[in-house]
Amino acid sequence: MLKRIQSGDPRSIAKAISLVENNGAGAQRLMKAVFSCRKDAVVLGITGAPGTGKSTLADQVIGCLRAEGKKIGILAVDPSSPFSGGAILGDRIRMMRHSVDADVFIRSMATRGHLGGLAKATGEAIAIFEAAGKDYVLVETVGVGQDEVEVVKLADLILVVLTPGAGDDIQAFKAGIMEIADIFVLNKADSPGAEETERQIQAMLELGFPGRVRPAVIKTVATKGSGVEALMAEVGRLSVSRDQSYLEKRLKRLIGWMLRDVTREKIFRLITQGVPDSAFEAYVDDIFHRRTDPYTVADQIVARLKK
Ligand SMILES: Nc1nc2c(ncn2[C@@H]2O[C@H](COP(=O)(O)OP(=O)(O)O)[C@@H](O)[C@H]2O)c(=O)[nH]1
Ligand SMILES: [Mg+2]
């Protein structure tokens, strides 16, 4: 399977991502192999509120990169997936013209069971793309919750997409995503109020980035492709000047998640093996009859496992 992934075979890439997403049998073994042969891609995070034009923009970015012969993997990450089948479908339609291109792989990632799980699955999918020889990986996320901030931190460069009249978004974003933006994209620059919003973004940047290189604000009309060249020039400039320590940080964050997750799983298995169902039910019964409480019992279980 690893050989087929390395040859860029889309089916094997899809299979591998499903395997790590579902944490299926052999996922750990596969990821060990993937890690040993991955090569660094440029990972671009594209984040912003729903409807700001992230997918339309991604489609343009794909077009530019394909013109240079680059191979690309795209992850459309949607943490609220039970309710947003339509959004992901929209993403796919937006990038449809590239879906027959064998060197462009588009994949949606859905929510995971626990916080950080989505980030881990996304990180693993990026590693699979890197093993498959992709030069660029685009990660589209809706930038709202904590999980999304974690996901977008996997990127080497983060593009925050805003639209005219996004004053409220700017307030909402300030808390998390704004600080980690490398480039601000003011998309839908063909809509009224673009200049005013640009001023608001600049004003915010003046206040909010002490001791940091101020990110560029680039106006685009994704539906027409205007401004995309300037955006790609800035992406190119930043990815060249980006030092190795950045990449190291991204990889270490991913490795940290994997290590925690794998360890958590092993410990969980120990618990289920070490505490038989009958003993567990007895504990539940004791708590139910108020003879004890979950905290005390948890301590007892841990003590039992330590022995
Ligand atoms: N007027 C205008 N509409 C745009 C622009 N970019 C995207 N759109 C439209 O905005 C809608 C949402 O775009 P989409 O890419 O799906 O946004 P996403 O939810 O952020 O991925 C679509 O109907 C696009 O055609 C733009 O620059 N100008
Ligand atoms: Mg989208």
Q: What is the pLDDT along the chain (307 residues), one digit of tens a residue?
A: 999 999 999 999 999 999 988 877 888 889 889 988 888 899 999 988 888 899 899 999 999 999 999 999 999 886 544 434 444 555 556 666 666 677 899 888 876 555 567 778 888 899 999 999 999 999 998 766 666 777 777 888 999 999 998 766 666 555 566 777 889 999 999 999 999 999 988 888 887 666 667 899 999 999 999 999 999 999 999 887 766 777 777 778 777 877 887 788 788 888 888 888 899 999 999 999 999 999 999 999 888 888 8
Residue 67 is predicted with a pLDDT of: 93
54 lines ligand 1 (CB under 6 A): yes
CB distance 132 to 125 below 8 Å: no
The response to whether residue 188 sits with its C-beta less than 6 Å from ligand 1 reads yes
Residue 18 sits at φ, ψ, to 5 deg, of: -60, -40
In 3D space, the residue among 255, 260, 15 whose CA is nearest the CA of residue 123 turns out to be 255
Angle at 30 between CA 26 and CA 34, to 5 degrees: 170
Site to substitute for ligand 1 among 173, 223, 226, 228, most atoms within 8 A of C-beta: 223
Taking CA atoms, 80 is separated from 66, 87, 182, 295, in Å, by 30, 10, 25, 31
| Shortest-distance atom of ligand 1 to CA 87 | 19
CB of 90 closer than 6 angstroms to any ligand 1 atom: yes
Closest ligand to Cα 226: 1
Give the pLDDT confidence score for residue 271 in this predicted structure.
84
Among residues 167, 163, 168, 205, which one has the least CA distance to residue 186?
163
What is the residue type of 253?
R
Q: Which amino acid is at 117?
A: G
Helix axes 194-208, 167-174, angle to 10 degrees: 20
